[in-house]
Amino acid sequence: MKKNTSQADAAGTLTLGSDLTVNRLGYGAMRITGEGIWGPPKDKTEAIRTLKRTLDLGINFIDTADSYGPHISEELIAEALHPYPDDLVIATKGGLTRTGPNQWPINGHPDHLREALEGSLKRLRLERIDLYQLHRFDPEVPIEDTLGFLKEQQDRGLIRHLGLSEVSVAQIRQAQELGVEVVSVQNMYNFAQQKWNDVLDWCAQNGAAFIPWYPLASGNLAAEKALEQVAQKHRATSYQVALAWLLQRSPAMLPIPGTGSVKHLEENTAAASLHLDDEDLKVLSRT
């Protein structure tokens, strides 16, 4: 399988809301931070090169959050890519705080979300966030308060579209009942962990994007024999097959593999042009 020549547009497109069309293979910017998603990356130069290379490869959807670093990921995106191309969609998230490496307390209080949103706008050098996603429902804060605040900011023009993360279909419907148009759902999903099939189906049926975070399980898919079997047939890697499988799993799927390495970014993007036939999908079937 040839590397470094495939473009993200080979994955096809989907539209967020009714006005933002992006290629279905995006980029997750969590891994351009330090260990434990804390502090700056070990190699800032390579992180900047990786961000710039996303545009060369046709990637026009980048996912980040104020909590990545914290703040580091958003700052690096702006440093590398601002002024942004007209077709680039930067999605960010709020609703988590950071108390140390690998620590992610939930905070859905409007006061925290206001600080998070204002900070993201400033760091990303934007007047409006194209897609702002709530990291988690906070059990300590009435969801009416959390979503009411976000809807107010959308009405003010600071947010174009709203999305949710780690939610069930029932929670999505609860948000809809509160007047939120949910254009994306970002739940953990990969070849080895397919808990959220019902949410994926809801997204496909309702025109929303399903953004699988942890799409490569942080490199822990190598032990999946079915992936390796198909990879050998296509002279690809198991991770490329895992991404190709996600893309073919549903037209609502918008994978966002993350890396701080140009080499790995190019390998991931090459998966956009890898077509799995019926025989491959039978091998990969988990039923």
Domain locations along the chain:
13-211
Q: What is the DSSP string of the chain?
A: ---S---GGGG-EEEETTTEEEES--EEGGGGS-TTSBSS-S-HHHHHHHHHHHHHTT--EEE--TTTBTTHHHHHHHHHHPSPPTT-EEEEEESB--SSTT---B---HHHHHHHHHHHHHHHT-SSEEEEEE----TTS-HHHHHHHHHHHHHHTSEEEEEEES--HHHHHHHHHTT--EEEEE-B-BTTB-TTHHHHHHHHHHT-EE--BSTTGGGTTTT-HHHHHHHHHHT--HHHHHHHHHHHH-TTB----B-S-HHHHHHHHHGGG----HHHHHHH---
Q: Which CATH class is domain 13-211?
A: alpha beta
Query: So what's the pLDDT on residue 222?
Result: 63
Query: So what's the pLDDT on residue 220?
Result: 73
pLDDT of 170 > 50? The answer is yes
Provide the pLDDT confidence category of residue 286 given band limits of 50, 70 and 90: low
Provide the pLDDT confidence category of residue 1 given band limits of 50, 70 and 90: very low
Q: In the chain, pLDDT over 70 holds for what percent of residues?
A: 96
Provide the pLDDT confidence category of residue 223 given band limits of 50, 70 and 90: low
Query: So what's the pLDDT on residue 221?
Result: 76
Provide the pLDDT confidence category of residue 219 given band limits of 50, 70 and 90: low
pTM score: 0.95
How confident is the model over 107-154, as pLDDT tens digits?
999 999 999 999 999 999 999 999 999 999 999 999 999 999 999 999
Would you call 132 a catalytic residue per the annotation?
Answer: no
Query: So what's the pLDDT on residue 111?
Result: 98
pLDDT of 232 > 60? The answer is yes
How confident is the model over 152-168, as pLDDT tens digits?
999 999 999 999 999 99
Catalytic residue among 27, 68, 132, 214: 68
Over residues 259-278, the mean pLDDT reads 97
- Mean pLDDT, the chain, integer: 95
Over residues 237-248, the mean pLDDT reads 96
Query: So what's the pLDDT on residue 202?
Result: 98
How confident is the model over 35-61, as pLDDT tens digits?
999 999 999 999 999 999 999 999 999
